[in-house]
Structure formats: structure tokens, C-alpha cells
Chain A
Amino acid sequence: MAVFLIRRLLVSCVLLFFISVISFFIITLTPGSPYPWGELNPKISEEVKRVFREKFHLDRPLPEQYALIMRDLFTGRLRSIKDERPVLEKIAERLPATLALNLGALALSLSFGLMLGIYGARHAGRPPDMITSVLAFVFIALPGFWVSYLVAIGLVQAAVPILGTHTIGVTFSNGAEVFLDRWWHVMMPASILAIGGIAVQSRFIRASMIETLREDYIRTARAKGLDENTVFYHHALRNSIRPLITGIGMLLPALIGGAVIIENIFAYPGMGRLGYEAVLERDYPTLVALNFVTAALVLLGNLLADLLYAVVDPRVRLE
């Protein structure tokens, strides 16, 4: 176990290094003017340009630039162009909302994906399976921004409080109500964010279940005279824990990416919205840091998933 942990952590460090290089490339390898306001803007004085170059160490050779930017990022010295606040601080204040939204969407994707996948596998090749299969692809093909826009507008029209993280202008009498209000504001965008994930996960589970049902031990279980429900839910379903966990690593990047649009539509103050604001402002430090932090979060998710494998599946030996 310890050996596995150490090796896995070492690999993660290597990945983190590559992630930092890629984040760095986003600003340095983008052709054209490095300045957010354009190279030839006459209103920008040489002084401002010099400060900007220094902030990004653009006057240094590439490897040094990389080292300095990473140093600034890790020591919290990297500041946003827009408001001069430390980038890490800006990200940290958005982190709880982002975690709530993405973990909510992840939980919905995994649970409903599992149910839909089981249903499909149970009826494999018959009309109910064909209907859920087509439905799954409709879910994947639905443009998320379109659905969220329609839902958000519809609910706002019906005077349902939906935007932001909590209902504005209402004082709740106790903690439970406050919690439920927040919960509602997270779960609405989370369910739209989860639509695609549910579909992807259901295809994944379905394929794995159908494959498992062809195994010898399933035939043995049936031959013993066990009823179909026991065979299906007791013997076969256990093997679907693996794709369920793999789903975590697979879905996370898509969820966080998709959240950029959905957080905007629902005025939800997460990292996706911060990212979109940074894109509009061409706020390089925030963009670099955001890409780095989100990728690092996904990496952490993958690491946890790997550990979970070992916990739930006794066949996986951590070496």
C-alpha cells in the first residue's frame, strides 16, 4: 500500500509538472501581442508595458519565465491584471461554490447513469434498451448552454428563485432553511450540467454489464438455479463498480469545462464564471492559474479514484 501510494504520488508529481508546462504555454506560445490591450494601443504608455512585461517576466528567456511564473503562482505572488488581487485568493473564494456544483453534478451523473445503464443492460437488444440508448445520445448531443438558457429563463419567468447561490431578499428563520435554499441553488445548475454525464456514464455501465453477463461465473450462477434478479444484482452488478469509479476521472474535466457556460447563465459564482470573466478581460495570470488549478483538481480526483479501486475491489492489489 505504502509503495503504491508513493509511486502514485510520484507519477502525479510528474503529471503536475506537465500540467504546469501546458498552462505556461497557453500564454507564451499564443502568437501575437502579449499585451491584453494590443501592441499598438497609443493610450498605453511604455511604462505600463514595462510593468506588464516584468509581471510576466517576459523580458527573460523562456525557461526562466516558466520558473518565475510557477514561483509566483505557488507563492501567491501572481496577481490579477484586472484588480491586482492575488490570483490564488480569487480562486480560493470561488472554490467552495465550484466544488458544490461539480460534485453535485458528478453524483447525479454517476447515480442516474448507473440506473439508466442497468436498465439498458437488463433489456439489452430489446425496445426499452433501444429507447434508452437513443435517449442517451440525445442527452449527449444536447447543447448544454441551450438547455440551461431555456430552463433558467423559464424558471425566472415563473418567479422561481434560481440565480446565484441563495435567494436574495428572504430571511430564513433557521439553518435548515438556509441549507435547503443553497441546496436548491446548487442542484438546479448541477442537474443540467449532469445531463451529458448521465448519458456517457449509462453507456459505459451498460457496456460493462453486458460484457460481465457473458462471463463464466454468471453462467455458473444461473446453472445453480439462482433467480435472474440475484444473478443480475448480486453477481453481475458488483463488477460495474470499476466503470463507476473510472467515470469519476473521465467525467470531471468535461463537467468543469461545461460549468463555464452554465455558471454564467445561472449567475453562479464558481471558478467557471471567474474563468469567463478572465477571458473577457484577457486576464492572463488568472487564466493560467485557473487552468493549472482545475487540472490539478482533476488530477487529485483521479488519484482518489485509483485509491477507491483498491478499497472496493479486492482483486486490485496495490503494489
Chain B
Amino acid sequence: MITTTTEPLALAPATPSGRAWRRFRANRIGVAALVLVILLALVALVFFVLDRLGIPFPMDPDMTNLERKLLPPNSINWLGTDNLGRDVLSRLLNGAYISLTVGFIAVFVSLSIGVTVGAIAGYFGKWVDNLIMRVVDAIMCFPTFFLILTAVALLGPSIINIIVVIGLVSWTGTARLVRAEFLTLREAPYVQAARALGQRGPKIIFRHLLPNAAAPILVTAVLGVPEAILAEAGLSFLGFGVQPPQATWGNIIADGKTYILDAWWLILFPGLAILVAALSFYLTGDALRQAVETRSERQ
């Protein structure tokens, strides 16, 4: 029995981003991870808004109830309650926006610095490049998490400080990448042509170099988000994260660790939340990297 597929030959999309999107869609793990990322973002947004409007859903995350403390998962508290009788599920949902906000904004900060520095080094080359890259090398020698911890502890833990410090510490990878891209791209014929036509530095950087380096920059951005999420969770665990009573995934674990033998749900669920969030960003980023890898196209 022979079955013939009568699927029409789809025309290849004309734009590189269209082609990349097609390749991304073909990656089932990547698509699943992206859906998860979008879902997480929606959850974080919805519960942030509910919290600001004062609607306690499913329960008020900060409401204590000592008669119902340390209850295992049950029909009312689906993920159990903590030592003050607060609903773990509500706290997890309420804390989601902290993780994602830190993730996204810290990446925005680190990208802004990394792209600027990398662009300057890669475009101007020579001693400028040499100097900048030696500084980057030096920063890369520092043990990242310890540097973040030191700075946050000295500045005082607040969400703004955490975001800024994570951003300030983690831009070096992006800078290296952008510089490498620029060094290759600036020898490209179309850049030479633009220069021959009399275009100047900023225009060449913004019109020609940056758009062509956009794909790898996007990939590092997506892969940077889970790094920041994990760093924030680690800080929260040590007590240097966003301060209580605001729930964060890290500080639910930190608060619960005293009760681990009586209340495994205080440790397990927030840990899984961090794992799933970080994993979905990593898998999305990796699928994206595979989709935009244009080595074959450039030749």
C-alpha cells in the first residue's frame, strides 16, 4: 500500500527571520518550551495584577492562619501551608513575577551594557578593543555568584539592587559575542561599500552591523534569563533576595528549610517551580540558537 503525501511544497519564506521561525517551529521541544515560557509570563502577570488589585486568589499569599499551619497538600491548600499557615500555592503564584521580572530586566541591563561595550570594541578595534577586552577578561575571572552576593549584601537587598547587580556582573559574555560578530561583519563587502559611500561610524553600527548580529544577541538574551532567575533564587535562599513578607520562590524554600522533615512540600514545590522556569528558558534559547544558526546561509 502506497500512500502519497500531497502536501504542497511550501515556498521558503524570503526573510531570514521567516526561515528561522520555520526551523524553530519544526523543533518540538523548543515549541513546547516556548509555550511554557509564555504561560509562565501570563501567570506572573495575572497574579501580579490580582495582587495589586487586592483580589485574594486562590488565597491571600500573606494571610497567616496559625490553626492551619504546616498542613500537607489538601483540598483547600493544594500545595499545603507553611509554618505560619500561609497557602503555598498562592505564595508560589504571587512570587512568580519576582523571578520573571528579575530575569527579564537584569537581562535588559546586561544586554545594554554588553552590546554597547562589545560594539565599541569590535567596531573600533586596535587599542580600544585591546583595553576593553582585557577588562572583560578580568571581570570574567570573578566568581559570578560571590560577586553578586557581595554587592547585593553591601547595597542592601531590594529588587532594584538585585536586578542592577546581576545585570552589571553578567554582561561580559554578550560583550565578547558582539565584539566577535562585529570583527567579522565589519570586513563584509556591504560594510566596506557603506564605508566607501561615506557613511560614518554610528550609522554603520546601527544600520548594518547591529541588525546582522541581532540573532546571536537574541539567543544570549534568552539564555541569560534563567541565569538571573537562578541567581535571584540563590540570593533569596541565603536571605539576600527580595525581602519578606513578599514571597519569592527562593525565600519560600529558605523559610521552609527548618521544617523540611515535617513539611517536604515547602521545599519541593518552589524548587520545582524554579527548575521548570529555568529549564523552559534554556530549552527555548537552545532551540532558538539552532534555528538562527546561519553558517550554511552565509557561505
Contacts and interface: CB of A to CB of B under 8 A. Distances in A.
Interface in B214-243: 226, 230, 233-234, 237-238, 240
A253 B237 contact: no
B260 interface: yes
Interface stretch (B100-108, B120-128, B277-285): B277-285
Q: Which residue, of B147, B151, B253, B274, has the highest number of chain A Cβ atoms within 10 A?
A: B147
Nearest to A142: B275
Interface in A1-23: 11, 14-16, 18-19, 22
Contact of A146 (B138, B144, B238, B253): B253
Contact of B271 (A16, A143, A290, A299): A143
Interface in A270-306: 272, 275-276, 279-280, 282, 284, 287, 290-291, 294-296, 298-299, 302
B149 A260 contact: yes
Nearest to B137: A15
B10 interface: no
Contacts of A287: 150, 154
Contact of B260 (A143, A153, A284, A299): A153
Interface in A140-159: 140-146, 149-150, 153, 157
Given A15-B134, A18-B134, A138-B275, A279 B147 contact: no
B282 A137 contact: yes
B138 A134 contact: no
Interface in A58-116: none
A225 interface: no
A229 interface: no
Contact of A18 (B135, B150, B240, B271): B135
A130 interface: yes
A15 B141 contact: yes
B197 interface: no
Contacts of B271: 143, 146, 150
A256 B145 CA distance: 8
Interface string A238-275: 00000000000000011111111100100000001001
A157 B261 CA distance: 9
B55 interface: no
A269 B154 CA distance: 23
Contacts of B253: 145-146, 149
Interface in B93-138: 134-135, 137-138
A42 interface: no
A260 B137 CA distance: 22
Contacts of A26: 147, 150-151, 154
A30 interface: yes
Contacts of A260: 143, 145-146, 149, 238
Contact of B155 (A30, A149, A302): A30
A290 B153 contact: no
B240 to A, nearest CB: 7
A31 B155 contact: yes
B279 A295 contact: no
Contacts of A134: 29, 283
Contact of A294 (B140, B142, B260, B283): B142
A279 B230 contact: no
A143 B26 CA distance: 30
A130 B153 CA distance: 40
Nearest to A146: B271
Contacts of A175: none
A149 B143 CA distance: 21
A32 interface: yes
A82 to B, nearest CB: 14
Interface string B139-171: 111111111111101111000000000000000
Nearest to B278: A141
A316 interface: no
Contacts of B151: 26, 30
Contact of B141 (A19, A143, A255, A264): A19
Contacts of B255: none
B138 A257 contact: no
A32 B237 CA distance: 25
B73 to A, nearest CB: 18
8 contacts: A143-B278, A144-B234, A145-B253, A153-B261, A257-B144, A282-B153, A287-B154, A302-B141
Instruction: Report the 7 A-B pairs with minimum CB-CB distance, sorted nearest first.
Output: A257-B145, A18-B138, A141-B278, A257-B143, A256-B143, A141-B279, A146-B271
Interface of A: 11, 14-16, 18-19, 22, 26-27, 30-32, 130, 133-134, 137-138, 140-146, 149-150, 153, 157, 253-261, 264, 272, 275-276, 279-280, 282, 284, 287, 290-291, 294-296, 298-299, 302
Given A146-B275, A264-B238, 11 more contacts: A15-B141, A26-B147, A133-B286, A134-B283, A138-B275, A140-B278, A141-B226, A144-B234, A145-B238, A254-B145, A272-B146
